[in-house]
Structure 1
Amino acid sequence: MILYPAIDLKDGQCVRLLRGDMDKATVFGSDPAAQAKSFQDAGCEWVHLVDLNGAFAGEPVNGAAVESILSTITVPAQLGGGIRDMATIERWISRGLSRVILGTVAVENPDLVREAARAFPGKVAVGIDARKGRVATKGWATETEVMVTDLARSFEDAGVAAIIYTDIDRDGAMQGPNVAATEALARAVDIPVIASGGVSSLDDLRALDATGVIAGAISGRALYDGAIDLATALAVLRGEG
């Protein structure tokens, strides 16, 4: 299982939100590129980036910070937030991004997901953010009646590289991930599923890994707070501890 350290960007800074609330942001650093480099130096295989302002604006806002990160690190990075048209997808991939994450458009314009996955094989993931099993969009501000599993299954034949499943009520709350719901989703589809939201200890990572079906886990606040040491966590996932 791959551990993806997260850098959430708000107004050019590294932050973490509590349950997706932009008014409940904790700033963890003012140099996102340096933070990404420290994750790389600790041995991570990927970096997970989110343009929080972009998710609400519907277009990239923290582009300068993302470009600075991409020019600083050599490990692959994936980015979500405000990516809602083909031109933006093409622009980010041309600038060295390894994977775009499409969330809101996966609900509102699923044909774009399919088009992008065909045009850029292996470089398009679907972000599914949910409260109580129902998908939320537009930076988690809009709740829909779409069920998580139904949305995921609708992309089975689209060629997407991964599904990033976030339990919003767990995100940033340091209460542990929703292992059961994430495992159920991973067993319901053939697309690799990455867990996000609430990953706050080595035991959380072990629990996700022990399912045998979850491809990755994203953690942010726990790494910044020191609840998880990245190098130690990577060793644990390699079976070294």
Structure 2
Amino acid sequence: MIIFPAIDLKDGAAVRLRQGEMDTATVFNSDPADQARLFHAAGFEWLHVVDLNGAFEGHPVNRETVAAIVASVDLKIQLGGGIRDLKTIENWLSAGIERVILGTAAVKDPELVKEACRNFPGKVVVGIDARGRHVAVEGWAEVSEMEATDLARGFEDAGVAAIIYTDIDRDGLLQGANVPATAALAEAISIPVIASGGVASLDDIAALKAVEESGIEGVICGRALYDGRVNPAAALALSAIPSGTAAG
């Protein structure tokens, strides 16, 4: 199971939000490229990067900061936030991003997701951010009528590399991952699922690891890594345990 350390970008800094509210931002590193190097040194192989300004404005905003991250580390990076058209997808992939995350576009323009999957196989991830069972869009500012499972099922045959499932009500609050909902989604579809939101300790990672065989590819970890609640070496060791042997 992959541990994805998160770097959320707001106004050029690495921050964490609470429940996606921009005015709750806590700056953890004013130099996101430096933060990327710290995660690289800790042994992580992936980064999960989100352009928060871009998510709200509908187009990339923190381009220079993302470019600095790409230039600073030899890590695979999945990037989301404000990616709403094929040209932007192509530009990011050409700039060294491994996978792009489509969230709002997946709800409002599903054909874009399918076309992107055809054009860039293995490079497109769908981000499903849910309040309760319903999908939120536009940087979580709007809640749609679409249910998370229905949205995910709509991309079953599209070639989506993974689904990132975020429980917004837990995001940034260190209240624990929503393991039952994440596992239920993973079991309902054939696309690998990445858990996001609420990870507070190694126990959350262990609980997700215990249901990994339901189709969980990884887990995104943010605030708990920044404040020391999750030790990188311990998390990586836990994630590498063979499936079915992790303690719940």
TM superposition score normalised by structure 2: 0.96
Letter in 2 for 1:142: E
> Paired residue for 1:233, among 217, 232, 235?
235
Secondary structure at the counterpart of residue 90 of structure 2:
helix
For residues 157-172 of structure 1, what are the structure 2 equivalents within 5 Å? 157-172=157-172
Deviation for aligned residue 1:117: 0.6
Deviations 1:60-98 (A, max 9, x none): 001111000001111100000000011100000000000
Task: Give yes or no for the alignment of 1:175 onto 2:172.
Answer: no
Task: Give yes or no for the alignment of 1:98 onto 2:87.
Answer: no
Q: 1:47: which partner in 2?
A: 47
Flag structure 2 segments of 5+ consecutive residues without an equivalent. Answer: none
Secondary structure at the counterpart of residue 229 of structure 2:
coil
Distance in 1 (alpha carbons) for counterparts of 2:125 and 2:81: 12
Q: Identity over aligned residues, as a percent? A: 63
Flag structure 1 segments of 5+ consecutive residues without an equivalent. Answer: none
Cα RMSD of the aligned pairs, angstroms, is: 1.0
Deviation for aligned residue 1:239: 2.5
Number of residues paired by the alignment? Answer: 241
Q: Structure 1 segments of 4 or more deviating over 3 A? A: none
Letter in 2 for 1:101: I
Q: 2:109: which partner in 1?
A: 109
Distance in 2 (alpha carbons) for counterparts of 1:189 and 1:140: 23
Distance in 2 (alpha carbons) for counterparts of 1:149 and 1:237: 26
Q: 1:138: which partner in 2?
A: 138
Distance in 1 (alpha carbons) for counterparts of 2:43 and 2:123: 22
Deviations 1:173-192 (A, max 9, x none): 00001100000000000000
Task: Give yes or no for the alignment of 1:196 onto 2:228.
Answer: no
Deviations 1:186-225 (A, max 9, x none): 0000000000000110000000010022110001100001
TM superposition score normalised by structure 1: 0.98
For residues 140-155 of structure 1, what are the structure 2 equivalents within 5 Å? 140-155=140-155
Q: 2:129: which partner in 1?
A: 129
Secondary structure at the counterpart of residue 236 of structure 2:
helix
Q: 1:222: which partner in 2?
A: 224
Letter in 2 for 1:183: A
Deviation for aligned residue 1:106: 0.2
Distance in 2 (alpha carbons) for counterparts of 1:172 and 1:222: 9
Letter in 2 for 1:24: T
Deviation for aligned residue 1:41: 1.0
Secondary structure at the counterpart of residue 183 of structure 1:
helix
Distance in 1 (alpha carbons) for counterparts of 2:34 and 2:231: 17
